[in-house]
Amino acid sequence: MTVTRFPPSPTGDLHIGGARTALYSWLYARQNDGKFILRIEDTDLERNSKQSVDAIIDGMNWLGLDYDEGPIFQTDRFDRYKAVIQQLLDEGKAYRCDCTTEELEAVREQQRANKEKPKYNGKCRERHDVSVEGSVIRFKNPLEGDVVIHDRVKGDIVINNRELDDLILARPNGVPTYNLTVVVDDMDMQMTHVIRGDDHINNTPRQINLFLALGAKLPEFAHVPMILGDDGKRLSKRHGAVGVMQYRDDGFIPQALLNYLLRLGWSHEEQEIFSREEMIDLFKLENVNVAASTFNTKKLIWVNEQYIKTLAAEELAEHLEWHLDNQKLDISNGPAITDVIEAHRDRAKTLKELASNIRYYYEDFSEYDEKAAKKNFKTATPGILQNLLDKFKQVNDWNPESIESVIQATCEELELGMGKVGPPLRVAVTGTAMSPSLDVTLNLVGKERSLKRLEKAVAFATAKYAES
RNA sequence: GUCCCCAUCGUCUAGUGGUUAGGACACCGCCCUUUCACGGCGGUAACCGGGGUUCGAGUCCCCGUGGGGACGCCA
């Protein structure tokens, strides 16, 4: 069975880069009816935090990347790691080293000065007199020969063992380190595919050597390229949104973000929008691009718009709920939210924007948009609005058609074009210069509210005209 | 510095020896229009450089150059 995993270290939020490798791993598992595991790599006791664990899980949930096992915490598996390390020690595949950090740094300094790659010099490799107290345990990496990674996206990568050094498996306090725990876990969890960022390519040959030393079956490796910020540098906090949840706050639909992330560095013919099912069905590791790609918010926004335009109104309403709540907009007193969504979905780039665009259906406004009022409330306005108001009062069946016919009637009676009547009416009823077509807008605002606002606008415009 | 990875429009990409180098985002123009949008139509814009291989290279090889990554008792 196919088994993949996503193994973040809990030192921060779930980032865009992490979200994408999680997505790829998840897709691969789902596509092959396999298992997707969430593993928390929390062996750096200093830096990891409970909040980060929660943030990562929140992010995974929001994105809908469900896992079949986990979260598994490496800190719960220390006994197992210790046993493996002991086994390596017993078999002479690992050794104790008591070199001090100062010593190590001096060696590296020297190597750098000699224009060499800094690495451990193997001083303790053949010693047998190192005391347990205060010493680390190192892996005896092979000294010669090549390690070949048969990478599913990059192709074969060859690294000579001379480039590698004896990595530390356990700190003096016995806490195991990353490369050891990853290998033990991937071995124990029978990982078939390791899909991760290509910043890990350098770790892979070391891990392969460890797998080999443990007599374990090698998983397949797939290193996906990094995501860069628009300055060409690796994506980081400086490039705007930190965690994935920031995108929720900014009004993105999780599926849209997933869609964007999928297409960033992967493609299928000329398709841009993929449903969840299509993603699972069509994703191929071999189609993942080999080069790093730049994150582009404008395209993400475009993808988001596509989802806002096409998702079922009910589903959109669910996603919108958080934003309504966040913007303190109570929609219990007003038109059905799905109707409002239908009227506004072509006009919003984000859910955040959508939420703020629809306030006037549910709440009265106290002020007109300054520019809109200035531009559209003229000396003739009170008369026009009063004419509309009188006719609207007579309408019993409040619907788009009846509203439209009133507007037409006013235009004819006053011998004015739609361009003279529509804009002031819009400002009067919505307080803004933008809304869907007037028949739809007034219908949603409702008769009672519309009349009240028209009365207020007549008064406002009259007073304003009287001033000058 | 050493090792590894990479290189097609500004950005995401298609392209696997013969194409007018295609699509998408963005940008610009036109149309639609009571506003804001949507939409429709059209346009600008790319094979990093140099050597090979070949009848023929964006595509294969080599060398540069440029970018990214790694070089931790971080993961």
Note whether residue A256 is domain-resident.
Answer: yes
Note whether residue A349 is domain-resident.
Answer: yes
pLDDT of A24 > 80? The answer is yes
What is the C-alpha separation between A368 and A428, in angstroms, rounded? Answer: 8
Instruction: Calculate what percentage of chain A has a pLDDT beyond 70.
Output: 99
Q: What is the pLDDT of residue A468?
A: 52
Q: What is the pLDDT of residue A381?
A: 86
Which one of A117, A233, A237, A374 is the catalytic residue?
Answer: A237
Residues A120 and A146 in one domain: yes
Note whether residue A18 is domain-resident.
Answer: no
Here the CATH number for the domain that contains residue A344 is 1.10.8
Residues A164 and A251 in one domain: no
Task: Give the CA A360 to C1' B29 distance in Å.
Answer: 35
A322, A338, A363 - which closes a domain: A363
What is the C-alpha separation between A213 and A85, in angstroms, rounded? Answer: 11
Measuring from the CA of residue A116 to each C1' atom, give the nucleotide at the shortest distance: B2
Nucleotide B11: closest residue by CA–C1': A296
Residues A149 and A86 in one domain: yes
Q: What is the pLDDT of residue A361?
A: 97
Residues A123 and A106 in one domain: yes
Residues A288 and A319 in one domain: no
Classify residue A125 as exposed, middle or buried by CB count within 10 Å of its CB (0-12, 13-18, 19+). Answer: middle
pLDDT mean over A42-69: 95
A237 is catalytic: yes
Nucleotide B36: closest residue by CA–C1': A434
Measuring from the CA of residue A120 to each C1' atom, give the nucleotide at the shortest distance: B71
Task: Give the CA A347 to C1' B41 distance in Å.
Answer: 22
Residues A392 and A327 in one domain: no
Note whether residue A33 is domain-resident.
Answer: no
- CA-closest candidate to residue A6, choices A235, A254, A189, A257: A189
What is the C-alpha separation between A279 and A182, in angstroms, rounded? Answer: 28
Two tokens, residue A195? 């899909």
Note whether residue A141 is domain-resident.
Answer: yes
What is the C-alpha separation between A53 and A181, in angstroms, rounded? Answer: 18
Instruction: Calculate what percentage of chain A has a pLDDT beyond 90.
Output: 84
pLDDT of A377 > 90? The answer is no
How confident is the model over A310-359, as pLDDT tens digits?
999 999 999 999 999 999 999 999 999 999 999 999 999 999 999 999 99
Residues A391 and A458 in one domain: yes
Note whether residue A398 is domain-resident.
Answer: yes
Residues A357 and A369 in one domain: no
- Give strand B nucleotides closer than 7 A to any protein Cβ: 1-8, 10-14, 22-26, 33-39, 67-75
Task: Give the CA A191 to C1' B20 distance in Å.
Answer: 49
Here the CATH number for the domain that contains residue A134 is 3.90.800.10
Note whether residue A191 is domain-resident.
Answer: no
Q: pLDDT category, A20, cuts 50, 70, 90?
A: very high
Number of domains in chain A: 4
Residues A83 and A171 in one domain: yes
Measuring from the CA of residue A182 to each C1' atom, give the nucleotide at the shortest distance: B75
Range of the domain at A258: 237-311
Residues A458 and A379 in one domain: yes
ipTM of the modeled complex: 0.95
State how far Cα A368 lies from the chain centre. Answer: 36
A342, A363, A384 - which closes a domain: A363
Least confident range from A17-26, A71-80, A369-378: namely A369-378
Task: Give the CA A257 to C1' B2 distance in Å.
Answer: 39
A163, A178, A193 - which closes a domain: A178
Residues A264 and A342 in one domain: no
Nucleotide B24: closest residue by CA–C1': A272
Residues A460 and A395 in one domain: yes
